[in-house]
Structure 1
């Protein structure tokens, strides 16, 4: 049961109690759903907006469709005006703090003020020097502002891009300093990814494997360590996807990549990053326009990325099997005592056939305000 109180976040990370209702939480959920209609392959974050009438009986929806198009708030306002929706006294629910930036489009905060919006509820604060400050602008105009609602979901949605935005770059041209990193593995109940004889095909069932390919279709690149690449000879593709639409295939590590490997012979681009310097690896991905990467093993690479605190999200598939011996899903991640453990928060679980999928995000200092 949701509480009727939540916390508002300022750019300094200070939380202050503010009221929020079940209906408002539902409206913000609709804004998140709308945001996912936006593209993943632009330099802008995906943002959704819902405008609810003063009486709470009608609403309109907007989302950002990519660089050069109206922001989510502007789209929602345009829909409202075209349908006769009464803007005066309405409430805006936005997944990201409305911007205060003059760029290709006017500041969304100003547009909401001029439309007569009475209240703004947003999820993630825009701390970037490019667009930040919208909440303060709204408050100065007398608009009631609630922030930090379902904070963690808002952070996930934009892949932490805005935290790294430079001061002197047009927001339409900005490329993040590093991509959003998802680490994935499939394992038995006792944490094994292969049996004692090395067999690993297949630990999970067909439904789990199909779902994993659905996730693959949402990323810009699929990466594995050079050891796993040499041992498993993976294709690094997405099932039932045209050749030109496959994500970039990436191999990281000093072992050479054979031109006779399945990934090299499949006709798609393959990037070999011959290094063990993982910050350098993710920087290389950014320079290759990768904003979202799925690291699909092996345990050495995944563990090292976690040890370097470079993993934003974990995807773990657990099969109802006990192997008792065999290759572990995880290697040394630099933890010597319990208090030094790497923390992740579970944000989704679902059953896929006989298997269970668990999605987790790296725990932040600010935490989840939901």
Structure 2
């Protein structure tokens, strides 16, 4: 027998297994308890168009679900899309009680809780809400803002250098840290770099070195921010390993300076079903996204090395004085091989902070 609180923890862990494969849908986990509190079914949403977490759990439980409790990380959907409404499926299965962590913020899918209550099902919401929100933060942020959740990832030495004075940067971090980056890539829908990074490093920008026997790896969309179309025809990002979009100013729209409009770029990615973006561009692109207020999370890999000179890890973030510093809240610090990985969210900017929006190449 498990408590509802414990069951929600398991549902949150199940939901995380769908990261990187469910967009434009959310990650969702579900546990079903029989009337005695025993787990009789569990499931998670694996891919867009596939069965939802509740449907997977109900199929596993069968008749044992009748009279039981459904523990679900997100409000059961109330509409018919590529699959039927989960709220109705729970009612039809004879579920007596539904425990929900987070309300669905989308108008088309919301209302499941009300439908359940109208059918006489007992509903409780907000159980372990903060943890469930954190696990689904990319999708929730995206649908609330109508733009993808953006994580800026960078690697630097202890003195903040991303390359040496001669331009060399392979490798700043250790092999375990580089493998960790691939695991991070596997959780997003798109990887974004600037054309400067393509010209300097010729990266492939695919997910490699990830071992997951349960699911095939879905390669993220590769996006090159390339205002004037300078990406070479033989660049690795143009190979067949993954889909690529060369985002030019002509295709996306240009800002006053003629460079790609970053807000328009994210709007187009959202329209294409992209909900989570990993920004891996160089210091100029990172600075442009930060200056525009378009970064939601920062993941920094810091190597125990000193260079003393060379390219800084961040350029042009629109900061001219210490009072304008972008403040972060650290959410995790971990040692990965010889390196440290810092994960942080951005604190909201003061409303009166002066706007300054430099653009990447």
- What's the TM-score bracket when you normalise by the shorter of the two chains? 0.7 to 0.9
Deviation at 1:51, TM superposition (A): 1.4
Question: Is the partner of 1:46 in helix, strand or coil?
Answer: coil
Return the alpha-carbon distance in structure 1 between the equivalents of residues 218 and 88 of structure 2: 39
The 3-state SS of whatever aligns with 2:265 is: helix
- For residue 353 of structure 1, report the CA deviation from its aligned partner: 0.9
User: 2:317 aligns to what?
Assistant: 333
What residue is the counterpart of 2:357 in the other structure?
none
Alpha-carbon shift at residue 201 of structure 1 (Å): 1.7
Alpha-carbon shift at residue 278 of structure 1 (Å) = 0.4
Is the Cα–Cα contact under 8 Å of residues 121 and 149 in structure 1 kept in the other structure?
A: no
Alignment match, 1:34: 14
* Aligned mates of 2:333, 2:40 — CA distance in 1: 30
Once the 2 structures are TM-superposed, how far is the Cα of residue 246 of structure 1 from its aligned partner?
Answer: 4.9
- Are 1:135 and 2:116 matched, yes or no? no
Q: Is the 8 A contact 2:195 2:231 kept in 1?
A: no
Match of 1:221 in 2: 190
Report the CA distance shift for 1:159/1:317 in structure 2 as closer, same or farther (over 3 A): farther
Name the CA distance, whole Å, in 2 between partners of 1:209 and 1:236: 12
Q: TM-score, normalised by structure 1?
A: 0.74
- CA RMSD for the aligned pairs? 3.4
1:203 deviation in Å? 1.1
Question: For 1:229 and 1:279, how far apart are their aligned partners in 2?
Answer: 22
Query: What corresponds to 2:178 in structure 1?
Result: 209
How far did residue 253 of structure 1 move?
3.6
- Identify the residue that residue 202 of structure 2 maps to in structure 1: 233
- Cα displacement (A) at 1:298: 0.8
Q: CA deviation at 1:142?
A: 5.5
Q: Which runs of 5+ in 1 are unaligned?
A: 1-21, 165-176, 366-370
**CA distance 1:239–1:151, change in 2 (3 Å):** closer
Question: Aligned pair 1:285/2:259, yes or no?
Answer: no
Cα deviation for residue 126 of structure 1 reads 0.6
Change (3 A) 1:263 1:160: same
- Cα deviation, residue 158, structure 1: 2.9
Residues 272-324 of structure 1, C-alpha deviations (whole Å, 9 max, x = no match): 22333101222333455544332212111112212223223322111122334
Cα gap change, 1:66 to 1:363, in 2 (>3 Å) = farther
Q: Counterparts of 1:62 and 1:245 in 2: how far apart (Å)?
A: 20
The total of aligned residue pairs comes to: 327
After superposition, the C-alpha distances for 1:101-147 in whole angstroms (9 at most, x for unaligned) are 24454432344345454443323321111011223344453514122
CA 1:255–1:150: 2 relative to 1, 3 Å:
same
